[in-house]
Amino acid sequence: TRTPVNVTVTGAAGQIGYALLFRIASGHLLGADVPVKLRLLEIPQGLKAAEGTAMELDDCAFPLLRGIEITDDPNVGFDGANVALLVGARPRTKGMERGDLLEANGGIFKPQGKAINDHAADDIRVLVVGNPANTNALIAQAAAPDVPAERFTAMTRLDHNRAISQLAAKTGAAVSDIKRLTIWGNHSATQYPDIFHAEIAGKNAAETVNDEGWLADTFIPTVAKRGAAIIEARGASSAASAANAAIDHVYSWVNGTPAGDWTSMGIPSDGSYGVPEGLISSFPVTCKDGKYEIVQGLDINEFSRTRIDASVQELAEERDAVRGLGLI
Ligand code: NAI
């Protein structure tokens, strides 16, 4: 029998945590034959609710779930962790400046990065979900110099899935017919969902749509502002869809992307496509044998170049801001 994989979830008592933990425990994160041990990391105020969630996890009698530990100490929470899902973050509240937001999150992701550095397993893989996800990932990465830099990733899979769904609705295609879509840049309103290399049932998506007005004025803003639209409708931010995307991200990373397709992940840039090295930016990636690789050689047209550059510029500004705060 396989040794269980240790999965740490921060912000476990939050709404994404509630949607995420049951799917991890039922085998969707890593595979239906992989046993898991869960570590729930919360702040002291969240411990009681996390205990309630753990009771419910017990009550599911999941065959793959081999243990649950709850803690408010990052050193315990990340001890021996193979996969870390960093969900808990400090949301922007009214009147908060960007600098305040970055500083508050630095207070979370810097110590967590350090704890990962000191206590996680050698094969640790980190996915940052908590916003601002790309820059929080950069902060955690900088605090973990002994962990290979490429193990720190940020989630743009929800944007990727949203874009597929919008494109399917526009064209009447099945979501399973849509391949090679890309989210570039930051998980923010500047992100760029790119359909110029995407395929719908084997045909080029941009040519199939053949409507640049729709692309610029409907598709891109709908995907980029979907989070706000969900808050408006639901009265709370995306939770189940965010949890689903986190599951997809790690599953692809560990188990690979299907032949002929790729996905989008926020990963440290190697300088590809003019994205400055080290920025954690979303790229088209294929995954194989537990590693991801940036898809190379795509032609970037003028329409895409402007939008990628704008989002990358925002990432560079966020990096400079956290550098100015001494967080990286
Ligand atoms: P939530 O407020 O329901 O839960 C957050 C939880 O994190 C709370 O239980 C809180 O106690 C906990 N927490 C705060 N600081 C912590 C720390 N230092 N260590 C451990 N736990 C800590 O929020 P929700 O809805 O679950 O969202 C979580 C984050 O995910 C937010 O930052 C949100 O903006 C982000 N998000 C990201 C998406 C993406 O696509 N990348 C999509 C949707 C949400």
Q: Is 13 in the pocket of ligand 1 (CB under 6 A)?
A: yes
Which residue in the block uniquely carries the two structure tokens 């926020």? 266
Query: What number of residues does the chain have?
Result: 328
17 labelled as ligand-binding? yes
How far apart CA 308 and CA 157 sit, in angstroms, is 17
pLDDT value for 93: 85
Structure tokens at 247: 């599951």
The Å distance, Cα 328 to ligand 1 centre, comes to 21
Peptide bond before 132: cis, by omega within 30 degrees of 0? yes
Q: For residue 229, is it within any domain? A: yes
Q: For residue 324, is it within any domain? A: no
Q: Is 43 in the pocket of ligand 1 (CB under 6 A)?
A: yes
Q: Is 91 in the pocket of ligand 1 (CB under 6 A)?
A: yes
CATH of the domain at 122: 3.40.50.720
pLDDT value for 95: 84
Q: Is 92 in the pocket of ligand 1 (CB under 6 A)?
A: no
The Å distance, Cα 15 to ligand 1 centre, comes to 8
Atom of ligand 1 nearest to the CA of 18: 26
| Contact between residue 155 and residue 246 where contact means Cβ atoms under 8 Å apart | yes
pLDDT value for 127: 99
Peptide bond before 63: cis, by omega within 30 degrees of 0? no
Element spanning 5, H or E:
strand 5-10
Which of 109, 136, 154 is where one domain is finished?
Answer: 154
Q: From atom 35 of ligand 1, which residue's Cα is the shortest distance away? A: 130
Q: For residue 189, is it within any domain? A: yes
**Total-model pTM:** 0.98
Catalytic residue numbers read 187
Atom of ligand 1 nearest to the CA of 187: 41
Q: For residue 39, is it within any domain? A: yes
Q: Is 242 in the pocket of ligand 1 (CB under 6 A)?
A: yes
pLDDT value for 295: 98
Which of 91, 120, 154 is where one domain is finished?
Answer: 154
pLDDT value for 2: 87
pLDDT value for 92: 84
Q: Are residues 235 and 93 in the same domain?
A: no
Q: For residue 327, is it within any domain? A: no
Q: For residue 323, is it within any domain? A: no
Q: Are residues 114 and 218 in the same domain?
A: no
98 labelled as ligand-binding? yes
How far apart CA 141 and CA 153 sit, in angstroms, is 9
pLDDT value for 117: 98
Reduced to 3 states, what is the DSSP secondary structure of residue 190?
A: coil
ipTM over 0.85: yes
Q: From atom 19 of ligand 1, which residue's Cα is the shortest distance away? A: 42
Q: For residue 326, is it within any domain? A: no
Q: Are residues 92 and 189 in the same domain?
A: no
Q: Are residues 171 and 248 in the same domain?
A: yes
Q: For residue 311, is it within any domain? A: yes
pLDDT value for 98: 83
| Contact between residue 24 and residue 5 where contact means Cβ atoms under 8 Å apart | no
Structure tokens at 17: 């945590």
The Å distance, Cα 65 to ligand 1 centre, comes to 23
297-306 long-range Cβ contacts below 8 angstroms, 24+ apart = 298/182, 298/197, 298/273, 300/273, 301/196, 303/196, 303/212, 303/215, 303/216, 304/184, 304/192, 304/194, 304/196
How far apart CA 54 and CA 70 sit, in angstroms, is 8
Q: 296 — alpha (psi -120 to 50), left (phi > 0) or beta?
A: beta
Which residue in the block uniquely carries the two structure tokens 């931010």? 237
Q: Is 237 in the pocket of ligand 1 (CB under 6 A)?
A: yes
> Partners of 39 in the beta sheet?
8, 69
Q: Is 158 in the pocket of ligand 1 (CB under 6 A)?
A: yes
Domain range for 164: 157-317
The Å distance, Cα 230 to ligand 1 centre, comes to 16
What 8-state DSSP symbol labels residue 163? H
Which of 97, 123, 154 is where one domain is finished?
Answer: 154
Counting as low any pLDDT under 50, the low residues of the chain are none
Residue 216: which residues within 8 A CB-CB, separation 6 or more?
303
Beta strands 192-194 and 182-184: pairing type?
antiparallel
312 labelled as ligand-binding? no
